[in-house]
Amino acid sequence: MTALGAPVKALGAPVKALGASATALGAAVLAAPVVVVVASLVEPSTDTWSHLWQTRLVEMLVSTAVLAVGVVAASLVVGTAAAWLVAAHDFPGRRLLGWLLALPLALPGYVSGFTWLDVTGRQGLVMAAVVLTASLYPYVYLLTLAAFREQSARTVEAARTLGCSRWRAWWRVVLPLARPSLAAGAALVAMEVLTDVGTVRLFDVTTVADGVFRVWFGLDDRDGAAELASVLVGAAVVMVTVERLARGRARFVQRGGRDTGVAARRVRGARGIAVAAGPVVLLLVALGVPLVRLVPWAWTTVAEGQGRTVSGGAVDHLLDSLLVVSLAVVVTVVAGTALALAGRPGRARAARVLARVATTGYAVPGPVVAIGVLVCVAWLEAQGWWPAGWALAGTLGVLVYALAVRYVAVAHAAVAASADKVPERVVEAARTLGSGPGAVALRVELPLVRPGVVVAAALVGIDVVKELPVTLLLRPFGVDTLPVWVWQATSDSRWEQAAVPGLLVAGLASVGVAVLLAALARGAEMVA
Amino acid sequence: MSRKGNLVAGAVVAVAGAVLAACGGGSSGDATGGSAGQVTVYLGRHYGIEQVFNAFTAETGIAVRFTTGRDPELRERLKTEGKNTPADVYLAADAANLELAATDGLLAPLGSTVVTTAVPAVLRDSQDLWTALSVRARTVMRAARVPDAEAPRSYAALGDARWKGKLCLRPATHPYTQSLVAALIADGGVAGAERTVRGWVANNPTYLDSDTKILEALADGTCDVAVTNTYYLLRARSEGKDLAQAVWITEGPGTHVNVSGAGIATHAPNPAGAKRLIEWLATTGQRPFADANFEEPAAASVAPRAEVAALGTYRRDPIAVERFGALQPEAVKLLDRAGHR
């Protein structure tokens, strides 16, 4: 370490310049596909827009708004209630149920969707909202659970001493203190709803994201589709702004050493069972309904020897998924970490703006991101200096790049949550002691944000394991991930044969959920 | 040091790995190697196709590798890949997909007398940019409890008030519905087609985005009549489930048919191999290609398999299937206007 110190110090200034420009370049590369999509607005497809205006545009906007508001509200209620039960009550089976409550996150909506459809036979906005809430509430649950655990027990005690009932203390003190987590959870859920295509299509709900594909596939107007997709980017920008405003300037720093979290009240006997009943009922809905179909279907297909596809058996698909996920996680988390460190509070404003632009991919439906990436890649290949015969499209590199564009926002948010907690004076101290900015980033900041990096890796991993549209469009020959297998079965109307890959996706993603829960239990945070 | 060192080293190695994989990615996952004896297919249709390709490879020694995907996306990929595309053949279900590929300049002329001899002109592109390889009829299905004599004999008759609340349809987002309405436009003009579609909508149909689910809905009493492709019916029967009865369209121009087909990519690295594959599929390969999915062969000289023939002969709507492509946007707008989901 000391041997490295001197050269690193001497390199300080050039490294700083290099680091800054590398971050800027990286941010620009990540932002390019989304910019390409939004740029399509410059020359609007007036024909398509007037057709939409006369037919479905209002329906799309209204059902998107209703669905987003409904799912966000329901997720907030369900997620927060579940987190409060687990954080503040010591009931029988608390540990297991606390873990299981996060598990629906591992089940992709396009898998649970067709099981719900098969069980209930009902379509429509309400069913779509139920299914989406059942798979998205864990975001709110995890965030608020972490917030409740982080809160100082003394705050609640103070409120109780001042005469608040337990319930009133929760309503007036605990919940308001968790506001940043609630806002962040709401934003995550809203983004997922806005960009969802698979679930709404199954339940016959025409949202803006679904409209993007009606215009692209039906009217054969890709530019019109991109224009409609930029409505979603606009909505996301508004949402992030509202979230910042809702949080206000408050930084919610709690002082006084390590906090023990809200004290859990021991409940046993009939009361304990009553408290445990809440999570159990929720799990029966969110996990029980899908599994009651998936397990027998998987059993039958395996028994009939159909648990494999054109490209091979379950192991081949599993390995393909692991390959894509591991590369995507590494690249996305490295990019997200670099952006988060460059955009820390007190750093250059330009860096924060860049981070904001580079993370808009999360607001754009996957296939639109993929098209943006293809356009960028085609442009690159068309440049004279690009070696002829070196096709980029259809390579693993382009797929990983596109996944990073789509999910860097998630990694950035998680690392930034850790980075915001690193006091600037620690960095200043390191600088005063003679380290250059590059060395400080590597030796001081990176170790301090490690919990955030772990959370980022888990969250991105869960998302990429379940990811279908980008992978479907950009995957190299012979790389057929588990969701691609699900798609091959469902697009052929064979839901039963999608059960084996669907369960494997859930199994793989639940590893990410376990890592996430462990990191959060150690005090990491999910979003900035 | 060690921990951070490992972290950084790990990241560097992984990124380097990604870059290397990116450079070599084009041929990864494909054990056959050697592009001279290999044809690459962008595949929008995937019903038991691998056995067909295996038979081709066994006969010619030319390996086939393929990637599956949604048709509009595969076309988009072809378009942006341009001269660098690895694709030799674009193989799709639905004539509209093939025709849209042709209009976008993604296909090169086949220039094959083998194909023009085997496949009737009405099932090929008039510019020789693609050919059909199999034919599927999309016709009325009735539940077994509906007497044959009372079943609708035209697409317009599905709008008859007696089917109110008892009609099952595929949503407008699916190409099958779009091409059917494109055919209605070609046959009866926009106004006539719109009357027909409005008639369906007035019956408050149940929309199911799966032909198999539609047939199951006929069997379980949700619907009395519906429209599906016949091969879904035969596929279910082959699995021991007799869900419904097919009814041929005898009024008007006849039963709507669509095709699966293929063309050579404009920038195919191996156009000779591509031509060889398409010629083989249009002749020797007709049997397995059509049979695997209970479709009718496109080649006039090849008879359909027994189960298909058992549905009886019917009058095909004689419209050239290539017209579906140009009419598709019009059909989608019409469906939207009429309030079809």
pLDDT digits (tens, 9 = 90+) for A310-340: 667 889 999 999 999 999 999 999 999 998 8
pLDDT of residue B22: 40
Residues within 8 A of B (CB atoms), A 42-101 only: 51, 54-56
Q: Residue A319, Cβ neighbours under 10 Å: how many?
A: 13
User: Which segments of chain A belong to CATH 1.10.3720.10?
Assistant: 1-39+312-528, 44-255+270-303
| Cβ pair B7:A327 closer than 8 A | no
Residues B225/B166, Cβ–Cβ less than 8 Å: yes
Q: Taking the CA atoms of chain B, what radius of gyration do you get in angstroms?
A: 23
Q: What is the ipTM metric for this complex?
A: 0.84
pLDDT of residue A425: 80
Cα B41 off chain centre by: 15
> Chain B: nearest CA to A92, how far in angstroms?
39
Bridging pattern class, strands B131-142 and B256-265 = antiparallel
Higher pLDDT, A428 or A330: A330
Whether residue B2 has pLDDT greater than 50: no
Helix or strand (DSSP H, E) at A265: strand A265-266
| Spatial separation of the C-alpha atoms in residues B239 and B231, rounded to whole Å | 12
DSSP B145: T
The 10s digit of each residue's pLDDT in B222-239 is: 999 999 999 999 999 999
Q: Residue A13, Cβ neighbours under 10 Å: how many?
A: 11
Partner residue facing B81 (CB), from A55, A206, A391: A391
Nearest chain B residue to A391 by CA: give it.
B84
Give the 3-state secondary structure of residue A43.
Answer: coil
Residue whose structure tokens are 């054990």: B31
What are the percentages of helix, strand and coil residues in chain A, rounded to 5? 75, 0, 20
Q: What average pLDDT does chain A have?
A: 85
Partner residue facing B19 (CB), from A121, A381, A397: A397
Q: Alpha-carbon torsion A361, A365, A369, A372, what sign?
A: negative
> Chain B: nearest CA to A242, how far in angstroms?
34
Q: Which residues of B touch A447 (CB under 8 A)?
A: 3-4
Give the 3-state secondary structure of residue B91.
Answer: strand
Q: Which domains does chain B have, with CATH numbers?
A: 35-135+259-309 (3.40.190.10), 136-257+313-338 (3.40.190.10)
Lowest-confidence region among A253-267, B10-24, B129-143, B297-311: B10-24
Bridging pattern class, strands B245-247 and B296-297 = unpaired
DSSP B119: S
Partner residue facing B100 (CB), from A220, A443, A493: A220
Sequential DSSP letters for A221-239: -HHHHHHHHHHHHHHHHHH
A486 vs B: CB within 8 A: no
When pLDDT is cut at 50, 70 and 90, the band that residue A268 belongs to is: confident
Bridging pattern class, strands B107-108 and B245-247 = unpaired
| Spatial separation of the C-alpha atoms in residues B58 and B61, rounded to whole Å | 6
Question: What topology does CATH give the domain A44-255+270-303?
Answer: MetI-like fold (1.10.3720)
Q: What is the mean pLDDT of residues A264-284?
A: 90
The 10s digit of each residue's pLDDT in A48-62 is: 999 999 998 999 999
Residues A506/A106, Cβ–Cβ less than 8 Å: yes
Q: Which residues of A touch B47 (CB under 8 A)?
A: 492
Residues B41/B47, Cβ–Cβ less than 8 Å: no
Token pair of B311 as six digits: 């549905």
Whether residue B12 has pLDDT greater than 50: no
Bridging pattern class, strands B167-169 and B225-229 = parallel
The 10s digit of each residue's pLDDT in B292-311 is: 999 999 999 999 999 999 99
Residue whose structure tokens are 């007190």: A346
> Chain B: nearest CA to A60, how far in angstroms?
12
pLDDT of residue A157: 81
- Of the residues B71, B84, B234, the best mutation for testing chain A's interface (the one with the most A CB atoms within 10 Å of its CB) is B84
Residue whose structure tokens are 């607001």: A363
pLDDT of residue B202: 98
Whether residue A345 has pLDDT greater than 70: no
Residue whose structure tokens are 């376990």: A514
| Spatial separation of the C-alpha atoms in residues A239 and A273, rounded to whole Å | 39
Phi/psi for B294 (5° steps) reads 55, 35
pLDDT of residue B171: 94
DSSP A312: B
| Spatial separation of the C-alpha atoms in residues A238 and A245, rounded to whole Å | 10
Give the 3-state secondary structure of residue B255.
Answer: strand
Q: Taking the CA atoms of chain A, what radius of gyration do you get in angstroms?
A: 24
Contacts of B14 (CB under 8 A, 6+ apart): A326, A327, A330, A331
The 10s digit of each residue's pLDDT in A212-241 is: 988 988 998 888 998 898 888 888 888 877
How long is chain B?
A: 341
DSSP A361: G
| Spatial separation of the C-alpha atoms in residues A125 and A59, rounded to whole Å | 12
pLDDT of residue A14: 58
When pLDDT is cut at 50, 70 and 90, the band that residue A2 belongs to is: very low
- CATH of segment(s) A1-39+312-528: 1.10.3720.10
Partner residue facing B77 (CB), from A213, A393, A395: A393
> Chain B: nearest CA to A354, how far in angstroms?
22
> Chain B: nearest CA to A195, how far in angstroms?
18
pLDDT of residue A360: 86
Whether residue A405 has pLDDT greater than 70: yes
- The predicted model scores a pTM of 0.87
Q: Alpha-carbon torsion A293, A294, A296, A302, what sign?
A: positive
When pLDDT is cut at 50, 70 and 90, the band that residue A526 belongs to is: low
- Of the residues B39, B91, B181, B210, the best mutation for testing chain A's interface (the one with the most A CB atoms within 10 Å of its CB) is B210
Residue whose structure tokens are 């655990």: A149
- Among A168-177, A296-305, B217-226, name the most confident range: B217-226
| Spatial separation of the C-alpha atoms in residues B279 and A12, rounded to whole Å | 66
Q: Which residues of A touch B210 (CB under 8 A)?
A: 493
Q: Residue A223, Cβ neighbours under 10 Å: how many?
A: 16
Bridging pattern class, strands B225-229 and B131-142 = antiparallel
